[in-house]
């Protein structure tokens, strides 16, 4: 069964993904002419919902920057006075509103982000809408449906030496999966796949170390994060024009969600 694969990505910060591609431009310059008056002002958002919050420790967050023209002097720090909230939607009706106030860095969080202060645990299949309001800028609005945990087909997990194989059960809410090897000393990404939404996907991995008592952690991303992570705008070819990737209804950036599961690797003697 075919699996669409991407180049391996490095994890930077809290699920902020970029990739560098060595591309070379040959031919006529096809870049559009950019002028300052054509730049649309707005907010650049990276919002992520995840279901593994514990009591008041919320891992869901929203990161907001102001759009700046390329090569123009400006700040890259997040905006600290944006009004941010998330709405829980059931049957197209708002049933709950969760405020995401600005939270400075502390012993739990190394960065200044917008996070809920009360326990917030989104569940698989739930639909949420993000709204960010700031000054005269247009509202940044986006929606996500929380994906389920990646599910491995029963009795499909096989470990032979450093070779591991299993079957992922198809799910239409999962747009992309990252597979990490978890050890006591480090976490290493092994593969990134786009699984089939209609049929099960066969996975084969070769581990860099013996698998005894190690864990595979499978992160499942919704369709928004799959599009955003799979279409980087960063390239070593600075002469190549790349269109802006945004999954928001209005504004720039992405609002998505993830889920994950751990798979313990046991070698049968």
Tens digit of each residue's pLDDT (9 = 90 or more) over 162-210: 999 999 999 999 999 999 998 877 789 999 999 998 999 999 999 988 8
Partners of residue 255 on adjacent β-strands: 47
pLDDT tens digits, 210-243: 887 789 999 999 999 999 888 765 555 555 555 6
Q: How many residues does the chain have?
A: 269
Average pLDDT over residues 130-148: 94
- DSSP string over 170-200: P-TT--EEEEEEE-SS-EEEEEEEE--SSS-
Domain ranges of the chain: 4-24+36-265
CB 15 within 8 A of CB 113: no
Cα Dmax for the chain: 69
pLDDT tens digits, 49-106: 999 877 667 889 999 988 765 555 555 567 889 999 999 999 999 999 999 999 877 6
CB 131 within 8 A of CB 139: yes
CB 61 within 8 A of CB 47: yes
Q: What is the pLDDT of residue 26?
A: 43
pLDDT tens digits, 12-31: 333 333 333 334 334 444 44
């Amino acid at each position: 069964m075919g699996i669409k694969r991407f180049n391996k990505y490095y994890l930077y910060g809290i699920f902020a993904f970029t990739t560098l591609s060595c591309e070379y431009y040959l031919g006529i310059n096809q870049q559009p002419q950019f002028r300052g008056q054509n730049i649309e002002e707005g907010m650049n958002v990276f919002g992520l919902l995840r279901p593994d919050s514990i009591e008041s420790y919320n891992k869901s967050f929203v990161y907001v920057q102001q759009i700046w023209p390329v090569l123009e002097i400006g700040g890259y720090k997040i905006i600290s006075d944006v009004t941010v909230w998330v709405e829980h939607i059931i049957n197209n009706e708002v049933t709950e509103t969760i405020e995401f106030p600005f939270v400075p860095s502390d012993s739990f969080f190394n960065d200044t982000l917008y996070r809920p202060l009360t326990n917030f645990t989104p569940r698989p299949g739930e639909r949420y809408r993000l709204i960010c309001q700031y000054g005269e800028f247009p509202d940044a609005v986006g929606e996500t449906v929380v994906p389920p945990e990646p599910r491995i087909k029963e009795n499909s997990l096989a470990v032979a030496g450093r070779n591991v194989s299993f079957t992922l059960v198809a799910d239409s809410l999962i747009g992309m999966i990252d597979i990490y090897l978890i050890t006591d000393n480090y976490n290493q990404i092994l593969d990134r796949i786009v699984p089939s939404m209609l049929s099960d996907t066969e996975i084969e991995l070769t581990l860099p170390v013996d698998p005894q008592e190690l864990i595979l952690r499978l992160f499942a991303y919704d369709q928004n994060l799959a599009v955003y992570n799979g279409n980087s705008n960063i390239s070593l070819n600075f002469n190549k024009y790349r269109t802006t990737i945004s999954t928001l209804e209005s504004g720039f950036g992405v609002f998505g969600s993830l889920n994950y599961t751990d798979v313990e690797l046991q070698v049968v003697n």
